[in-house]
Each structure stands twice: as structure tokens, then as C-alpha cells.
């Protein structure tokens, strides 16, 4: 029993001494490596290789302003009282279709007076014409003086002018009478009725709002120092993160098939101003958005995300690489030495950003924290 006990104690002591010796070895090795690195001044960093990738560019607009080219006010063309509407709010109307009837009490009275004036003028013209013809015959027989004939001719021509004036006045009143029926100037939806039946309006007063929101538009900016080209016809998807965006101000109808706040809208680039053929520091991009489901209306929207539907094959680096909060500067490792590079970037997909100039394919950019780094340091880079 004593023999086994001493053997066990001996094994335990041996293991303890072995562990102590191994710990001393590791410590000496670690200190040796640290001393070696310190002597060589080589910092361990992580990096990523600059390489070609397919990215689907996307960006966020803090504010997106949608506007319509097909929205107008229906206005009164004469003074009068709103008598009735031929259509109601949210109804669709065609261009030229009657929308509202106005009543001007003076127009019927003026029309009666104009008709009476025309009758009187025609009677006077008939009398003057007969007199002129009779005097013409008498003049050929030297039965009257030239002065009497000239007076008859003048009276005849004056009667003609009075009749034409009376007819023109009647025609003007007819136009005013027709203007009591206000028609739609474009095809679209009755979005809002400003004036109720019975209200009095003057010429030029808006009565109702009509619009067609199947197609809406918005603008974005492109800074030309990026040197990034984008083509007319580019298709993107527009996402809205906040369902409050779809609280419709006008209460217009929704089309079948809409997905509410989950709807993804398609937009197409239709204009670049000025075009790339002309030098400019800033360009305006005009996009046309498909709103056939009827969810959107003109106005400002928060938090819209724009996603390209076609990939771009381009040189890329991880998007969040910067140096000391300075945009468009990165550290690269070249032959184990840190160098600072200024770069020009383009589109991003949220993870990787396009590099237009400043880097070459295969370069190693530093992805570690850049705090305390400077050009000329020796580094050991582990490439992700």
C-alpha cells in the first residue's frame, strides 16, 4: 500500500513539474515573438483584397418628393352659383366630360335682350335696305339728289354693322352660357371637391381637383465628380419602410393587386439634366414611377430605398473603410508597408462600394481599426 501511495505522489509531482516547465516554455516563446515583432515593428492587421464583383447598387433617400404632371384644378370660367355636380369625388372622368353646372342669373336675361336686339336690328336693316334699293333706282332717273342717296347708303351700311354687332354679342353670351357647364380639362380622377352645391364662385375660382396618379415622378442628384455614368431607361425598385406613407390625403381609390406597405414600386430613369455630353458638377436625374396600384399620391415621403434591378460588374472594396473619418481615403499594404491612398467611389450595395479610381485589382486594403496608423509602418496583414 505504501509503495502504491509513493508511486501516486511521484506521478502527481511529475505532472506538476511538467506543466510548470511547459508554461515557462510558452511564456518564453511568446515573449520571444513579441520581442521579435517589436524589434521588426510589424503590426498585425486584417485586410481585404480589391476585386471585381457584381453589385446591385442601392441608396436611401431621406426625403422623396413625388409629383404629378397630370393634376389640375377645375376652375369656374364665369361668376355664378354651383348648381350641381355631374360626378362625385373619386369618380373617373374623361377629358371634356361635364363635371359641374354653374348658374348665372344674368346670362338668361342678357340672352333675351340680345335676341331682341337682333330682331330689331334685322328689321332696321330690312327697312334701310329697301330704302337704299329704291333710292338707287331714283338716282338713275335723276329723281333724287346725290345727297339723299348717300344718306340712304350710309343708313343701310350702319344697319348692317348694328346687326353684326348684335349677333356677335349674342355669340359671346352663348359662350358664357356654355361656360356654365364646366368640363374636365384632362382625363383623371376627381380627387377633391372644393366648393359644395349652393356656393357662389367668381371666374377663376378652383371648384374641384382632378388628377391621374398612375404615373408619378421624383428627382435625385448625381455629383459629376464621381464620374459615374447611368443610362436613360435604368430600372430601379422603390421601397417605402413606413406604412404611414400610404395614408392617402385625397381618399382616392386603390387598384386591385396592391400590397399596402409591402408594395415595391418600379421606377425608370427618363431624363438626365444636363446630359453627360455637357460639363457639370451636379446633374438632376428624373425618375418615372409606376403607381398603377394607386397607393401613392404627390407629396413628401420619408425613408425611401432605391435598389437597382441590374448588377454592375465593377472594382469594389468593403464599404465601411475610411481613415480617421476622412471620406475616400484608405490604407493599403504594399510589400508589408502601409500607404495612404485617395480613392473615388461610386455606387454601393450596402456591403461593398464601387471604386472608380485610386486602387487596382489585387491591392490589399486595411479593414482593421485605423486608429494610430500612419504611412510607412511595417505590417503583417491577414487577408479576409
pLDDT of residue 102: 93
Task: Using the predicted structure, report yes or no on whether residue 94 has a pLDDT greater than 50.
Answer: yes
Report phi then psi at 253, rounded to 5. Answer: -75, 150
| Other beta carbons within 10 Å of 292 | 13
- pLDDT one-digit tens code per residue, 196-230: 999 999 999 999 999 888 899 999 988 655 546 78
Query: What is the rounded average pLDDT of the residues 152-180?
Result: 89
Of the pLDDT bands very low, low, confident and very high (cuts 50, 70, 90), residue 35 is very low
Residue 38 — very low, low, confident or very high, per pLDDT cuts 50/70/90?
Answer: very low
What average pLDDT does range 14-38 have in this prediction? Answer: 63
Do residues 50 and 352 make contact, with C-beta atoms less than 8 angstroms apart? Answer: no
> Among candidates 197, 257, 268, 272, which has minimal Cα distance to 235?
268
Over the chain, what is the mean pLDDT?
A: 84
Q: How many other CB atoms are found less than 10 A from the CB of residue 79?
A: 16
pLDDT value at 39 more than 50: no
Q: What percent of the chain has pLDDT over 90?
A: 29
CA-CA distance, 242 to 296, in Å (whole number)?
Answer: 13
- Alpha carbons 223 and 241: distance in angstroms, whole number: 26
Q: How far apart are CA 177 and CA 103, in angstroms?
A: 9
Which is it for strands 42-49 and 378-383: parallel, antiparallel or unpaired?
parallel
Domains in the chain, start-ordered, CATH in brackets?
A: 42-55+314-383 (2.40.420.20), 58-70+213-312 (2.40.30.170), 74-183 (1.10.287.470)
User: In the block, which residue shows the cell 481585404?
Assistant: 48
Q: Is the confidence at residue 31, as pLDDT, over 80? A: no
- Cα(241)–Cα(123) distance, integer angstroms: 77
Which among 300, 364, 291, 360 is positioned nearest to 331, based on CA atoms? 364
The model's pLDDT over 269-287, given as tens digits with 9 standing for 90+, comes to: 999 998 888 888 888 999 9
Interval 114-129 mean pLDDT: 90
C-alpha cell at 74: 377645375
Greatest mean pLDDT range, 27-31, 242-246, 350-354, 369-373: 350-354
Amino acid at each position: 500500500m505504501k509503495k502504491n501511495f509513493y508511486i501516486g505522489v511521484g506521478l502527481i509531482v511529475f505532472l506538476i513539474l511538467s506543466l510548470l516547465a511547459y508554461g515557462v516554455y510558452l511564456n518564453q516563446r511568446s515573449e520571444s515573438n513579441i520581442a521579435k515583432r517589436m524589434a521588426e515593428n510589424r503590426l498585425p492587421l486584417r485586410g481585404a483584397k480589391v476585386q471585381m464583383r457584381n453589385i446591385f447598387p442601392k441608396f436611401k433617400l431621406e426625403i422623396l418628393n413625388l409629383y404629378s404632371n397630370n393634376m389640375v384644378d377645375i376652375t369656374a370660367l364665369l361668376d355664378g352659383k354651383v348648381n350641381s355636380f355631374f360626378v362625385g369625388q373619386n369618380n373617373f372622368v374623361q377629358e371634356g366630360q361635364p363635371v359641374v353646372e354653374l348658374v348665372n342669373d344674368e346670362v338668361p336675361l342678357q340672352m333675351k335682350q340680345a335676341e331682341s336686339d337682333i330682331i330689331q336690328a334685322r328689321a332696321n336693316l330690312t327697312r334701310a335696305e329697301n330704302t337704299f334699293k329704291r333710292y338707287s333706282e331714283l338716282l338713275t332717273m335723276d329723281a333724287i339728289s346725290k345727297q339723299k342717296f348717300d344718306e340712304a347708303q350710309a343708313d343701310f351700311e350702319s344697319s348692317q354693322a348694328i346687326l353684326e354687332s348684335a349677333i356677335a354679342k349674342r355669340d359671346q353670351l352663348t359662350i358664357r352660357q356654355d361656360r356654365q357647364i364646366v368640363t374636365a380639362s384632362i382625363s383623371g380622377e376627381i380627387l377633391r371637391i372644393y366648393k359644395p352645391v349652393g356656393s357662389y364662385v367668381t371666374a377663376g375660382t378652383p371648384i374641384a381637383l382632378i388628377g391621374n396618379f398612375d404615373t408619378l415622378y421624383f428627382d435625385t442628384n448625381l455629383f459629376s465628380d464621381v464620374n459615374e455614368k447611368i443610362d436613360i431607361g435604368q430600372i430601379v425598385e422603390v421601397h417605402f419602410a413606413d406604412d404611414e406613407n400610404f395614408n392617402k390625403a385625397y381618399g382616392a381609390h386603390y387598384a386591385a393587386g396592391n400590397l399596402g406597405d409591402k408594395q415595391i414600386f418600379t421606377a425608370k430613369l427618363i431624363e438626365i439634366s444636363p446630359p453627360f455630353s455637357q460639363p457639370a458638377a451636379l446633374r438632376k436625374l428624373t425618375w418615372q414611377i409606376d403607381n398603377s396600384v394607386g397607393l401613392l399620391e404627390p407629396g413628401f415621403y420619408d425613408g425611401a430605398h432605391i435598389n437597382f434591378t441590374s448588377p454592375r460588374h465593377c472594382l469594389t472594396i468593403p464599404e465601411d473603410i475610411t481613415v480617421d473619418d476622412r471620406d475616400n481615403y484608405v490604407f493599403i499594404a504594399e510589400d508589408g508597408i502601409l500607404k495612404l491612398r485617395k480613392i473615388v467611389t461610386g455606387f454601393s450595395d450596402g456591403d461593398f462600394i464601387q471604386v472608380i479610381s485610386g486602387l487596382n485589382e489585387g491591392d490589399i486594403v486595411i479593414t482593421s481599426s485605423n486608429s494610430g496608423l500612419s504611412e510607412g509602418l511595417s505590417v503583417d496583414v491577414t487577408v479576409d
